[in-house]
Amino acid sequence: MRIAVMGAGSTGGYFGGMLARGGNDVALIARGEHLKTIRSNGLRVVRDDEEFTVQCLATDEPSEVAPVDLALLCVKTYQSAVAVPMMKPLVGPDTTVLCLQNGVDSYETAAAILGDTAVLPGAAFIEAGMPGPGVIRQTGSLVRIILGETNGSETDRCRIIRDVFAEAGVPAEVVPDIRAGLWGKFLFISTMAGVTSMARATLAELMPQPHWRRVVLSCLAEIDAVGRANGVNLTKDIVGDTVSYIEDHLADLQASMHTDLLAGRPLELEALNGSVVRAGDTAGVPTPINDVIYAMLKALENGAK
């Protein structure tokens, strides 16, 4: 399959690397030193039990890539206004754009520009980072893709994309209720990103402290209530299951928004905790934890001055 990855950073780079190793024709859209290193040395992917390097077309100009079968949208949400219009040369009449961005409605932004029929909502579950240009480091046992049509149907394109990921060693699942799937990840990511950024500490540092553990649990419960009030069919045990996951994987959990904050980079605040606040307003559900997170981080949203 011909695949382009828009935003070949930690998440996009990992999936692009795995798909390329799996025999697909992959083009990586990147920039800066990361792009230069990929062009000269290839993309190196380091996992807990292996590492490998792939050689792919790498560019910062999507116009250099012809329309593809599958385009992965992996840029940070605050980059969408610039990055999504740049994807137009990648999209032909049979192209699927799989949105793997954070947030519960990020795919709608892409659909408004690239077309409703082209864009497919999805979510990536992965712990990955970039220890240096041209290098992706993936840790922990959880790597998973979910995707699905907004009308709940299991289409041929969903099955084909699922199988392409699976054949490349990436577990993938077509879910009948993608909205609930997105909110399930959103509940976890928004809590981890918001609380750790507010506290300037990781969940591994915070969860053993009773006062911070209470904040984490309250944030999870708050987002759960907001989702249900907005008609999202979240599973009954979503909060408890998320807490269990956090406790079982503490050593591997690092929110990218926390990393970005410490590095002085822009934050995905609007797509995460800002979305919780707005969805709470829509449903008439108070969001005191997310109100505080949002207020404390708002001045840093565009990065360090």
Residue from 206, 182, 190 nearest 268 by CA: 190
Burial class of residue 115, CB neighbours in 10 A (0-12, 13-18, 19+): middle
pLDDT of residue 304: 77
Residue from 150, 148, 152 nearest 161 by CA: 148
Residue 118, pLDDT above cutoff 90: yes
pLDDT of residue 200: 97
- What's the pLDDT tens digit per position in 261-272? 999 999 999 999
CATH class held by domain 179-300: mainly alpha
pLDDT of residue 280: 98
- Which of left, alpha, beta for 177 (phi over 0: left; psi -120 to 50: alpha)? beta
Residue from 158, 164, 118 nearest 24 by CA: 164
**CATH 3.40.50.720 region(s) of the chain?**
2-176
CATH architecture of 2-176: 3-Layer(aba) Sandwich (3.40)
**CATH 1.10.1040.10 region(s) of the chain?**
179-300
- What's the pLDDT tens digit per position in 175-199? 999 999 999 999 999 999 999 999 9
Neighbours of 86 (CB within 10 A): 17
pTM of whole model > 0.85?
A: yes
What is the mean pLDDT of the segment spanning 37-43?
A: 97
Burial 121-131 (b: 16+ CB within 10 A, else e): bbbbbbbbbbe
- What's the pLDDT tens digit per position in 217-263? 999 999 999 999 999 999 999 999 999 999 998 988 889 999 999 99
Q: 149 CB contacts (<8 Å, ≥6 apart)?
A: 120, 155, 158, 178
Chain centroid to CA 163: how far? 20
Residue from 101, 72, 245, 250 nearest 170 by CA: 72
Tell me how far apart the alpha carbons of residues 36 and 18 are, in angstroms, rounded to a whole number.
Answer: 20
Residue 305, pLDDT above cutoff 60: no
Mean pLDDT of all residues belonging to the chain? 96
